[in-house]
Amino acid sequence: MKKHYLIILLLPFLAFVAGNFFTRFSFNKSFSKNNVAIKAADLPYNNSIETNSVKEFDLQAAPSTIELNGNEKFETWAYNNQVPGPEFRVQKGDTVKINFTNNLPQETTIHFHGIRVSNEMDGVPDVTQNPIKPGDTFTYEFVVYDAGTFWYHPHVRGNEQVERGLYGTLIVEDPNEPLYSQDKIIVLDDWRIQSDGSLNENFNSRHDIGHDGRWGNVITANGQVQPSFILKQNERVRYRLVNTSNARVYSLYFGELDVKAIAVDGILVREPFNPNGFDLAPGNRIDIDIKAPNKTDIFTIKDKFTTSTNNVFSIQISEEKTEMQNFEYPRAEKYPDMNVSNYIVDQEYALDQGGMSMMHNLRATINSQSYPDYKKTSLESDMFQVIRFSNSSARLHPMHLHGQFFKVIAKDGKQVDEPFMRDTVLVDRYETVDVGIIPIDEGDWALHCHILEHAEAGMMTIVEVD
């Protein structure tokens, strides 16, 4: 009698232990690195491709004089004497070959942001290649597996070199995507201009490192202040927006315009969505399908990320009419379902600022280390894994992982299902962001904050995929 009584008393406890064991067991089974439920084959991109032709370009970085914001003799640095630098348009499967010459007074490299390239073409100094010395040349050559909107920029003293105007775009077209009547790139940047019209050359100030990086006082779209772009009535266009700013985040509003986001960070979305208010952080791209109305009009595209509103560019609907192109919004054919509620965090990256004495240089840290000090972390290829970014600072950190796309699955412990992949995610003040990832490209890949002052102050590490 007594024994039975004991067992009855213990039952809830035993059930609890067994239940726990069970969840743990099934949890491991479904979501550990060994799980096959979320497969690389479900990704909207892959590494098998029919290679096409070789597309060869010459690119030179050098001091240059351009026109900016009314200053006809704006002294800066540029690729091929233009800001933004050249737009390289190629087809999926092409081999891109870029004969690069460094005519800057500093070392440099080029990183092709977002697009998956072989590791030794990734442009990270002392990790994937030696820095290119002034006067030297280097040939970047890689096959493009991904169609979409990408960009390129230096990876040496990015805070200075990108700020001076070294950036350009790489657009990879896919013949299976609809051909819009206009396919236009809009490169957003901001500049810190002094009263005499010249560029403020106090790069990496203590203030900028300690705050949200260098925010400029002049915003440009394709190198112009508040340009106006013309659409015909009923015209349907694809605008590819790229944020090349060192630090500024844009949250764009298109007013009454009929807009849909069709790609983020290069990759087509799972589901087209309303782009109004999307946080376009440094490094991010968003492709927008715009359907012009059937009357003349003018729309001012505004950024409302901060409390003050900025007019960024405008779209003018002309007298001319055309017929609306009629096709479905492009979207990716497949997407992995990363909607898991219980998961193991495989790698955590704690983001923080400083902690150094006032006398020393301010540093930014990942897991308490400041690049070039880092402890290499690793991810396994072809396995679903979860990365956590936990921000314990009062600063913004748009985190970018080279060579991979990932998907946001939770913020501050709450499940989030963004209908798209990314290569850069804005981690807000004191926020924790979890992303799901299935790496498919091996190598040593940089992971860093894309606020370039933070990256320069050490918020960077290396992730090995093997």
Binding site for ligand C2O (CB under 6 A): 111, 113, 153, 155, 283, 400, 402, 446, 448, 450
| Count of chain residues binding Cu ion (CB under 5 A) | 4
Q: 384-403: which residues touch Cu ion (CB under 5 A)? A: 397
Side-chain half-sphere exposure of 377, counting CA atoms within 13 A: 18
113 interacts with, out of Cu ion, ligand C2O, none, CB within 5 to 8 A per kind = ligand C2O
Query: Residue 210 belongs to what H/E stretch?
Result: helix 206-210
191 residue type, one letter: W
* C-alpha span between 426 and 436 (Å, rounded): 15
* Closer residue to ligand C2O, CB minimum distance, 113 or 238: 113
Which of 193, 267, 451, 463 forms a contact with Cu ion (CB under 5 A)?
A: 451
Task: Please tell me whether the peptide bond between 84 and the residue prior to it is cis, using omega within 30 degrees of 0.
Answer: yes
155 interacts with, out of ligand C2O, Cu ion, none, CB within 5 to 8 A per kind = ligand C2O
Helix H, strand E, coil C: the string for 109-164 is: CEEEECCCCCHHHCCCECCCECCECCCCEEEEEEECCCCEEEEEEECCCHHHHCCC
User: Which of 62, 53, 85 has its CA nearest to residue 137?
Assistant: 62
Nearest distance from residue 162's CB to ligand C2O, in Å?
8
449 binds Cu ion (CB under 5 A): yes
397 interacts with, out of ligand C2O, Cu ion, none, CB within 5 to 8 A per kind = Cu ion
Residue nearest to ligand C2O (CB): 113
Nearest distance from residue 37's CB to Cu ion, in Å?
34
Span interacting with Cu ion, options 153-161, 370-378, 403-411, 441-449, rule CB under 5 A: 441-449
* Closer residue to Cu ion, CB minimum distance, 168 or 216: 216
* Closer residue to Cu ion, CB minimum distance, 17 or 356: 356
433 residue type, one letter: V
* C-alpha span between 137 and 339 (Å, rounded): 46
111 interacts with, out of Cu ion, ligand C2O, none, CB within 5 to 8 A per kind = ligand C2O
* C-alpha span between 413 and 408 (Å, rounded): 11
Nearest distance from residue 424's CB to ligand C2O, in Å?
8
454 interacts with, out of ligand C2O, Cu ion, none, CB within 5 to 8 A per kind = Cu ion
93 residue type, one letter: G
Both tokens of residue 243?
A: 């944020």
23 residue type, one letter: T
